[in-house]
Structure 1
Amino acid sequence: MNQHILQGRSVDEVLWFRRRSVLRAAAAWTATGGFAGALAQQRSNVVELRGDVLLNGRPMRPQQFVQTGDALETGPDAHIVFVIGNAAFQLRQNTRMAVERGVTLNTVSLLRLLTGAVAAVWGKGTTRQIVTPTLTAGIRGTGTYLEVRPQEDLRTYFCNCYGVIDMAAGRERVVSESEYHQSFWGEPAPVNGRLLTPARAINHTDEEMEFLAQLVGQRTPWQVAGRRGDHDGSGYMEPQPGRTHPAAR
């Protein structure tokens, strides 16, 4: 298991994908046709729900369907895994998030994370956005993990696990190109004059990104390449002499 440094998260919370209930649910999801099967059979697009989760302010039931325009909130020790179109999401405990509609009802145009943490895999498509209190990210097809930290004035941790992302904070703009976890802090106030600063890879695993990718019929770049990289947040599987983190340029 390739786990990044833990910072304010428990081992059990990060290794959610190992639970038998999750593995059984994922196998059933794949066997019944994934998201297309859920639509055709009028089933829920929730792969697993654990603990107290609010959907648009009301307690959520496992058979309900999460769609664009909905707001979700997880309680202590709760989490939810669901799929909308070609995007898969896992919300950690104590998370508040909304998904906004794209060109169709089943296309997410924007993920707005208010607090907490979410891992997500996005299939290829038109540009979509992730918005937090301290940064904005424009994505196409990629894997992401992000946290908004209320105890740190809503400081944001953002990892481009793979893909190309246009990162913005205030007037700062950088392009993140990653094959293996390129990580940033979105700072609530400038640090050495910068609102986007380099970060280590923390609080998520290669395997959970692989798990989410599988739910939408994808494989991560490191699966395709058959190797892993360093967990240093640089975005590369192998050292790249002379190339620096985009937030350090």
Structure 2
Amino acid sequence: MSQHALLDRTEAELLWFRRRHFIQAAAAWTAAGGFTAAHAQQRSNVVQLEGDVLLNGQRMRPDNFVQSGDRIDTGPGSTLVFAVGNSAFHVRQNSRITVERGATLNTVSVLRLLTGAVVSVWGRGSNRQIVTPTLTAGIRGTGVYTEVFAQENYRSYFCNCYGTVELAAGGERAVSQASYHQSYWGEAQPRGGRMLTPALAINHTDEEVEFVAALINQRTAWQIEGRRGVKDGSGYMDPGRNHPLTR
């Protein structure tokens, strides 16, 4: 298990990928051909649903199909794993998201996270964003973890687990290029005069990012390189390099 720090989350919540029913569901999803096959055969693109989840205000069923334009709400102890096009998502408990349409019905242009947390992996593409109340991330091909802390005036946490992301918060901008977890806060109020500040790596593991990536036949940067770095939020495999915002 990779190292990680917890903030308002439990260890059990981060170990969802170890549950037998998820492992079986993920294996069945991959063996059946993933999203392309599910769409062609008019099957559900839901990999795993647990607990009470609402789709556009209605109780969600495992055979439902999530498409762009939909709103998803997860209740306490509930999770949802699904794929749309070349992107895959794990929505944690007590989350609210909307999936906005891209160039086609099966392309996500904007993942809007209002509260809660999402692990997401995106294949290559353009004009895609993750939007929270305090932060916007322009997504290329990457794996990321995003969380909104409603109890802190919707302060947003964003980790670019690997890849390139263009970040904006309160008029400030930064380009994040990471091979191993580069983390940021999108502040609700300026801290030290800044709206975009460095963060530690919290509330997510390498393994869950790897599992979500596998749903779209993608490997993480550390899987490709065959090693893990120092998970301090700076974003690099090798120690001794500072976070871009502290240089």
Which category of TM-score, normalised to the shorter sequence, fits these structures?
over 0.9
Give the distance between the partners of 2:157 and 2:3, measured in 1 at CA.
16
Contact kept in structure 2, 1:3 and 1:203, CA below 8 Å: no
- Cα RMSD after superposing both structures: 0.9
Give the distance between the partners of 2:36 and 2:176, measured in 1 at CA.
31
Structure-2 residue corresponding to 1:6: 6
Give the distance between the partners of 1:105 and 1:4, measured in 2 at CA.
36
Q: How many percent of aligned residue pairs carry the same amino acid? A: 66
Give the distance between the partners of 2:239 and 2:175, measured in 1 at CA.
19
Give the distance between the partners of 1:35 and 1:173, measured in 2 at CA.
34
Structure-2 residue corresponding to 1:191: 191
Counterparts of 1:39-188 in structure 2, within 5 Å, are: 39-188=39-188
The TM-score with structure 1 as length reference comes to 0.97
Which secondary structure state, in structure 2, belongs to the residue aligned with residue 112 of structure 1? strand
Q: Deviations over 1:117-176 (max 9, x none)?
A: 000000001131111000101011000101101111100010000011110011101110
CA 1:122–1:82 in structure 2 vs 1: closer, same or farther (change >3 Å)? same
Q: Deviations over 1:174-217 (max 9, x none)?
A: 11000000000111000000001110000000001110111001
Counterpart amino acid of residue 105 in structure 2: L
Structure-2 residue corresponding to 1:247: 245
Unmatched 5+ stretches in structure 1:
none
Please list every run of at least 4 consecutive aligned residues from structure 1 whose deviation after the TM superposition is greater than 6 angstroms: none
Which secondary structure state, in structure 2, belongs to the residue aligned with residue 29 of structure 1? helix
1:216 equivalent to 2:183? Answer: no
Which secondary structure state, in structure 1, belongs to the residue aligned with residue 145 of structure 2? strand
Q: Report the CA distance between 1:231 and its aligned residue.
A: 1.1
Counterpart amino acid of residue 146 in structure 2: L
Give the distance between the partners of 1:99 and 1:42, measured in 2 at CA.
19
Q: Report the CA distance between 1:7 and its aligned residue.
A: 1.1
Give the distance between the partners of 1:168 and 1:4, measured in 2 at CA.
25
The TM-score with structure 2 as length reference comes to 0.98
